[in-house]
Amino acid sequence: MRCDGLVAVVTGGGSGIGRACVEALLAAGARVGVLDLDPAGAPTDPRVHPVRADVADRASLAAAVASVADAYGGIDILVNNAGISAVGTVEDNDDAQWARVLDVNVTGIARTTAVTLPHLRRSRAAAIVNMSSIAAGAGLPRRVLYSASKGAVHAMTLALAADLVGEGIRVNCVAPGTVDTPWVARLLADADDPVAEKIRLAARQPTGRLVTAPEVAAAVVYLASPDSGAVTGTSLAVDCGLYGLRLAPPSRPD
Ligand code: NAD
């Protein structure tokens, strides 16, 4: 799980899972460009190059990616992590919300990948890791729009992997369960009873706890590192068993 001498770009690297990915890539020996609406949250380190960028704006992405490539002499790894939430049934989210969430979560990955590919093509260890979700593979209540966006991330990962395998560029995604990040803290803050809601979310996971951001980051580093050179077109679940396990309900006391 080493990335010595490699240069990574992490979108949304200023908070939560993205920030944990930056820290894990640094620990694995990489230098990291952080592209975020608010890059101030990125770790302070001479091997981190923070740039303000919006994945919904191709011009800002092109400038930010060029800035990282200039600073570090190329780009080998792209972690498409930036994403936004959407809560509600199909009747709750209006057209503007649909356009905004798909623009950031889906088209944002397409834009970032397109502007980074010329640099990845010059790398001998090129890898793309996209941030999917348990929502891509399991029906969660009141997540229609968000699930549609993450299902698209999974499908796009497979299609990108097919297009790029001949050029030696690997493309995979990670599908986390519920992860303890500022994002989930915001969701809990909106709940009627945040403490009860956190207990409910933890209980939904077969291990009885939330995933941690460093646990997701470890999977990202594996898929980004040349150590996973035989892995492309896959989705790696980091979800405390939420997708795959079917547990029997607790037995009733006699
Ligand atoms: P977070 O809100 O803590 O961090 C998201 C980061 O992305 C922030 O720094 C934000 O500024 C940045 N960002 C948002 N929109 C952007 C844009 N348009 N351009 C550039 N940067 C932008 O969220 P998180 O929990 O760390 O989630 C990160 C990713 O993980 C998202 O794609 C999310 O869908 C996915 N995910 C999260 C969970 C979870 O439970 N937290 C579960 C599965 C998947």
- Cβ-contact 30, 8 below 8 angstroms: yes
Does ligand 1 lie within 6 Å of residue 135's CB atom?
no
Residue pLDDT, tens place only, 124-178: 999 999 999 999 999 999 999 999 999 999 999 999 999 999 999 999 999 999 9
**Residue 191 clears pLDDT 80, i.e. is over it:** yes
% of the chain surpassing 70 pLDDT = 98
CATH code of the domain made up of 7-176+212-238: 3.40.50.720
Q: Which two tokens stand for residue 159?
A: 């299609």
Nearest ligand 1 atom to alpha carbon 15: 9
**What whole-number distance in Å separates Cα of residue 13 and Cα of residue 37?**
9
- Taking residue 65's Cβ as centre, other Cβ atoms within 10 Å add up to 24
Query: Looking at 72, 146, 222, 243, which residue is catalytic?
Result: 146
Q: Specify the residue with its C-alpha closest to ligand 1, atom 31.
A: 83
Q: In a mutational test of the pocket of ligand 1, which residue from 181, 187, 210 has the highest number of ligand atoms less than 8 Å from its CB?
A: 181
How far does residue 162's CA lie from ligand 1's centre (Å)?
A: 26
The stretch 53-67 carries a mean pLDDT of: 98
- Residue of the CA atom closest to atom 10 of ligand 1: 12
What integer pLDDT is reported at residue 249 of this predicted model?
A: 74
Q: What is the pTM of this model?
A: 0.97
Task: Please report the pLDDT score of residue 106 as a whole number.
Answer: 99
Q: Is any atom of ligand 1 closer than 6 Å to the C-beta of 153? A: no
Alpha carbons within 13 angstroms on the beta-carbon side of residue 86 total 27
pLDDT confidence of residue 253: 64
Residue in 9, 10, 15, 34 to alter for ligand 1 test, most ligand atoms within 8 A of Cβ: 15
Reply yes or no on whether 146 is catalytic.
Answer: yes
Predicted confidence band at 73 (pLDDT cuts at 50, 70, 90)?
A: very high
Is the confidence at residue 254, as pLDDT, over 70?
A: no
How far does residue 11's CA lie from ligand 1's centre (Å)?
A: 9
81-90: average pLDDT = 98
| pLDDT (average), residues 223-252 | 93
What's residue 129's pLDDT? 99
> How far lies 110's CA from each of 61, 106, 113, 157, in Å?
11, 7, 5, 10
- Cβ of 50 less than 6 Å from ligand 1: no
